[in-house]
Amino acid sequence: MSFTDLIIKKFKDKNAIVGIVGMGYVGLPVMLRYIDVGIRCIGLDVDSKKVELLNQGKSYIAHIPESKISKAKECGFMATSDPSKMADCDAIILCVPTPLNKYREPDISYITDSTEKLLPFLKEGQVLSLESTTYPGTTEEELKVRIEKQGFRIGENFFLVYSPEREDPANPKFTTKTIPKIVGGSTENCKNVGIALYEQIIDEVVPVSSTKTAEMTKLLENIHRAVNIGLVNEMKIVADKMDIDIHEVIRAASTKPFGFTPYYPGPGLGGHCIPIDPFYLTWKAREFGISTRFIELAGEVNTNMPHWVISKLTNSLNNMGKSIKGSKILILGIAYKKNVDDMRESPSVELMNILEEKGAEIAYSDPYVPSFPNIRKHSFNLNSIELTPQSVSKFDCILLATNHDIFDYDLIKNNAKLIVDTRGVYSKPSKNIVKA
């Protein structure tokens, strides 16, 4: 029996061991799905605190209950920071970050560094699947080259796959199980092994012709969102000048049963995908002498949104006879999207940076983020404050940045001197509410 047939049979018989590299918002849900179907997992992460918590049966992600981590432990799951443990695995799935560097260029060092650490422990018959978002060609140019230097024959005695993550944290409509999974292989055998790897845990696996196609698919998905959000953000500014509520316009347009998909404006882009992924393609396109003007224009619009919000806030305070300097401003919600604890690329951080630079006294309230984390952009020595009539009323302005369902919006409205609403929460006009 060939290596291809052997590993496919292992997955189908659920006798395989799957290693997940990166126990974050992507890797942890993937691990839990394999546990659900009876496949043993090993989690590898460089963060010793995460490893310790997982081995104690504890969760560090708000929407993942500890009961699921405890169940995984009972089913044989273990977390480790030792890459040699991946030698016990039949499949290794890379779920590591792919940020931008200070020059706004792709930083794939997490991918390459992780691969380098794994190389001594790879074995015949394994499959390595990359899920991190990256530019087309990464799997072939970076991973395949390194693996082949170890003496493996890709598609014969080792299998290489690219299968982009598709997670929407805290969205009950879509789960790891129900979101269709794109799979591209370095060879036909690799693709077939990748299908067998993922069809155990995903309802629908969508094979494509190559790893490059799978990589480009992920970028198209996120660039599609970035461009349309850029469009609606620009429309918001135009509508504001015309004294039109863009959220009312979107609600009305959404009644059209064809040809329109609603996208919603905000104070800027957040999350691990939309603010970053378009730059992976614009960077790679330059290698081919192509200028991606449409994508870059959307990026400019979205990047400028925090400054536009601050200008609205400034004007609103001026109308009250106040300046930003010395004003007490509460940021409402600092996670990048509603009902999650994820702070990655949150526009709230940029808003806080700008306000601090302008001399405002800032605070924040976000039950999902009790203490401000130590992140790359900036770290504020702040803790989330509880919203009460007394605490709300002491601020000169409430800047509504993330619209968590948990907030008592009536309490805020009834006690705030000024609310700058960037999410369209308040649909009815009010003297103390300004749309931004």
In angstroms, the CA 85 to CA 79 distance is 10
- Residues 6+ positions from 429 with CB-CB distance below 8 Å: none
* N residues, the chain: 436
Count Cβ neighbours within 10 Å for each residue of 373-393 and write b for 16 or more, e otherwise: eeeeeeebeeebeebeeeebe
* Contact assessment for residue 399 and residue 420, using Cβ atoms and an 8 Å cutoff: yes
Distant-in-sequence, close-in-space partners of 341: CB < 8 Å, separation ≥ 6? 61, 62, 63, 335, 368, 369
Instruction: Read off φ and ψ for residue 263, nearest 5 degrees.
Output: -125, 150
Could you give the 3-state DSSP secondary structure of residue 371? strand
- Report the alpha-carbon distance of residue 52 to residue 435 in Å, rounded: 44
- Kindly name the residue from 89, 95, 190, 273 that is annotated as catalytic: 273
Residue 90 and residue 68: Cα distance in Å, rounded? Answer: 23
The shares of helix, strand and coil residues in the chain, as percent rounded to the nearest 5, are: 40, 15, 45
135 touches 283 (CB < 8 A): yes
CA 67 to CA 61: how far, in whole Å? 12
Alpha-carbon distance of 306 to 428, in angstroms, equals 24
Q: Which two tokens stand for residue 254?
A: 């959404």
DSSP for 220-267?
HHHHHHHHHHHHHHHHHHHHHHTT--HHHHHHHHTT-SSS-------S
273 is catalytic: yes
Q: Would you please indicate which residues are annotated as catalytic (active-site) residues? A: 273
